[in-house]
Chain A
């Protein structure tokens, strides 16, 4: 086929990009070369719209061993132990084919982690669906959950936490973000930078098939009416092979045979080989006739673009081929020497003894286009003034029940019951808490992890929203007694070619950066997913933050369930009663305008450190952060989990109880403290100059507040626990 501008455009390249390719190459590329360019220059692989802004991120810290730019980030957790982690999106494929899309998302992120020599120890996910009333939602949710479970359960890595939301902006573009944490000895981390000349390049894992061709390009475009035709671009996962690949790679990594290793993810063999050579400032020569193929007569074009799963590319020390082959034979996996490193700084492809492509590496990597796209700032919306009459017809207890059964607040047990969350025998905090916690096997340490996003806040004011999610992640980790270490982010946005969407991206990134700097909570890995748009309708900006923290003695872990009758309950942090953008305003006042709650980073840090200090002194019996739904929602969850009630004090100077109980002000926690430790706790709170309210006492089997609320916990639990199950069964 003759390569023309039209062919280039069919491959997702822009007209100007095609002329730039011809100019850089000083000739017209052949079809295989064009395909390689299209794979490397698309948004998904090149980060061409986001790179300029991502550079601003706060990525360094005392515990950071590896920041962004590798397969995953790495942080030090002491005693030579390190945690490798990353979050990644699989949005586009999951909408087209929910089971395989979600499953391969989980497979892909786990490969990123074990590529670095780490054994995966926990999975998390953040999944977002359209309105519950939308006709596709139920099936998409069912398929995604089955896909995530089907893959993670089979590999035998526990899924310890997650987040599920519903919003009409995801009707045409669901989001599936998967995160994995792995444990590695910090002196045995493997990287993707090739080094040395004439070193054998090894292909291991599954055979290459015709699945997933153009997957990365598909994920770099918006959807239209013809998305059914895109099904063949979705990869098909085989968790069994991945489990074998995991064990085989870790076995080979026990010695010093590997120079560099890279999984074949988006854009398959193309991106993995180019990245390894580019990082090592080398060339690479691949003989495509040696690539193990699943189907007959595959062309170089197909081999280079296939996104078949469960494959790895390794640059090996010379002479170690036989040793490595024995390991992969033992695990029944394909193993082939398919090329070598060279000094040409080119990628050269041989097929049937003929050279079929030759491209200087820097044209694919460093010279890939970077765009400084125009963007628009979002103004902070005017704060709403609620009229007192609006609250008149409401009853506090009805409001509470309605909020607890809201799709975004209700219990997600129906989902996580389908994920194996206890395999590996170290899960000490299961899904449903503020963060999931797994022990570091054989030590006293435990690692906490949480995934969070707040699309409503980010949509209303991206800068505040960006800050808020980082703070929320920070709080969730502290709420389980963990010291926050670092984050990974998955930036899900609409079409970057639109100024509004690009502006949302830029300002969310600015917000994330500001908060992570202030809280010393650096970003160590992440990915960007643009073009979450169908027929011109984009999603609300949804940056997802995956936070990781450390509990140095796991016996000090906190949970949210109320423990002992008679203990006191405090709200730490000040409540101004911010209702704009709250669940309460949406659900009960039908009000969607206004700014998100203000984020005060000084308070976040100070209050967070106060709670950690209290917990280290064993003065906190249970803890939960106050977020969506405000104080009353948070306290209800603590009651439901602990199967204990609370008697709430008559609060002095309360002007509007709805604002107090349902306001979503930031930087707040609810803690249960032993009644005989009151003085100690108050002294510490005063030392940090932290505002607190004495909310009430753990008491009986109901939530009681004056004459307003007297609700048995069982009734609340019913409202909270069954929404999702009923929805899925209906």
Chain B
């Protein structure tokens, strides 16, 4: 499976994502933000970091960068687009995903392990995933997902909520919500579920020495579903 990771100025999880993808057998290549086209890919990843210094608003300048038109075209033609952390913020700024990511409820950056519940398995990311609750990792200052009542209803009606913050036992409540996101939302899909944005970093949980391996399940699952 071929993948492309876009590097924006200020991206800082680009290498980590490259390492993770290659570890599980993706043929990955790095793509510079000023390029106009993306090499042939089956998956495009917008990595975490602080693209363009998070100036103006997280992800907003990246959503107007040269490369982004190709990303949008690829998504609209049904290609898999995955945005992690800052990548999720960029996807909401492009309009590919609904809603916005506000500053965390307690106004602090949070770096912590979290559990997320997989809410929908009828998609190419989570289909046949063996677990319902994953231990992943977050590191962000603006991960507090918010959207309008109408948007929330349509996300719910179409099963577009991908993952929610929960406890180890899968219970979603306020205590298990690290950043104040509406309905504990940690990640969402677009309408056709080929575009996934999520705040947690699967690429930071890919071997047992990194306090967890559930990220490995996530990447392997994408590969398995592609075959």
Interface residues of A (CB under 8 A from B): 146, 149-150, 153-156, 238-241, 243-244, 331-332, 416-425, 427-428, 430, 439, 554-555
Contact = CB atoms under 8 A, between A and B. Distances in A.
Interface string B188-227: 0000000000000101101001110000000000000000
B16 interface: yes
A238 B9 CA distance: 13
Interface in B42-78: 48-50, 52-55
Given A423-B139, A555-B209, 7 more contacts: A153-B109, A153-B111, A156-B49, A240-B52, A240-B54, A417-B112, A422-B204
Contacts of B9: 240, 243-244, 331-332
B53 A238 contact: yes
24 contacts: A149-B109, A150-B109, A153-B111, A153-B139, A156-B12, A239-B53, A240-B9, A240-B10, A240-B54, A240-B55, A241-B53, A243-B12, A418-B109, A418-B110, A420-B111, A422-B139, A422-B201, A422-B204, A423-B204, A424-B16, A425-B19, A430-B211, A554-B209, A555-B209
A425 B139 contact: no
Given A419-B111, A420-B109, A422-B210, A154 B53 contact: yes
A240 B10 CA distance: 6
Of A156, A416, A421, chain B has the most CB atoms within 10 Å of the CB of: A156
B188 to A, nearest CB: 23
Contacts of B121: none
Counting chain B CB atoms within 10 Å of each CB, the highest count among A150, A154, A244, A416 belongs to A154
A673 B202 CA distance: 34
Interface in B86-135: 108-112
B210 A425 contact: yes
B50 A240 contact: yes
Contacts of B12: 154-156, 243, 423
Contacts of B141: 153
Nearest to B137: A422
Contacts of B204: 422-423, 425
Of B53, B54, B201, B211, most A-chain CB atoms within 10 Å: B53
Contacts, number: 82
Contact of A427 (B49, B54, B210): B210
B13 interface: yes
Interface residues of B, number: 30
A207 to B, nearest CB: 15
A243 B112 CA distance: 23
Contacts of B211: 430
Given A154-B50, A422-B137, A243 B10 contact: yes
A428 B209 CA distance: 6
Given A240-B50, A417-B112, A423 B16 contact: yes
Interface of B: 9-10, 12-13, 15-16, 19-20, 48-50, 52-55, 108-112, 137, 139, 141, 201, 203-204, 206, 209-211
Q: Which 8 A-B pairs have the closest CB atoms?
A: A156-B12, A240-B53, A425-B16, A420-B139, A428-B209, A154-B50, A418-B109, A420-B111
A149 to B, nearest CB: 5
A425 B112 CA distance: 14
A723 B109 CA distance: 20
Q: Give the one of A418, A422, A427, A430 with max B CB within 10 A.
A: A422
Contacts of B139: 153, 420, 422-423
Nearest to A243: B10
A404 to B, nearest CB: 22
Contacts of A238: 53
Contacts of A423: 12-13, 16, 48, 139, 204
B10 to A, nearest CB: 5
Given A240-B10, A243-B12, A422 B111 contact: yes
Contact of A156 (B13, B108, B112, B203): B13
Nearest to B13: A423
A156 B201 CA distance: 14
A514 B209 CA distance: 37
B126 to A, nearest CB: 22
B10 A154 contact: yes
Contacts of A239: 50, 53
B22 to A, nearest CB: 11
Nearest to A157: B12
Contacts of A241: 53
Nearest to A155: B12
Nearest to A154: B50
Contacts of A243: 9-10, 12, 50
A428 B10 contact: no
Contacts of A153: 50, 109, 111, 139, 141
A422 B209 CA distance: 12
Chain A CB count within 10 A is highest, among B49, B52, B206, for B49
Contacts of A146: 108-109
Given A243-B12, A425-B204, A425-B210, A418 B50 contact: no
A557 to B, nearest CB: 8
A398 B86 CA distance: 47
B19 to A, nearest CB: 6
B108 A417 contact: yes
Contacts of B209: 428, 439, 554-555
Nearest to B110: A417
A239 B12 CA distance: 12
Contacts of B49: 156
B211 to A, nearest CB: 8
A219 to B, nearest CB: 27
B127 to A, nearest CB: 26
Contacts of B137: 422
Nearest to A424: B16
A392 B110 CA distance: 45
A419 B112 CA distance: 10
Contacts of A150: 109
A423 B86 CA distance: 13
Contacts of B16: 423-425
A423 B50 CA distance: 12
A420 B53 CA distance: 16
B79 to A, nearest CB: 26
Contacts of A240: 9-10, 50, 52-55
B151 to A, nearest CB: 29
Contacts of A427: 210
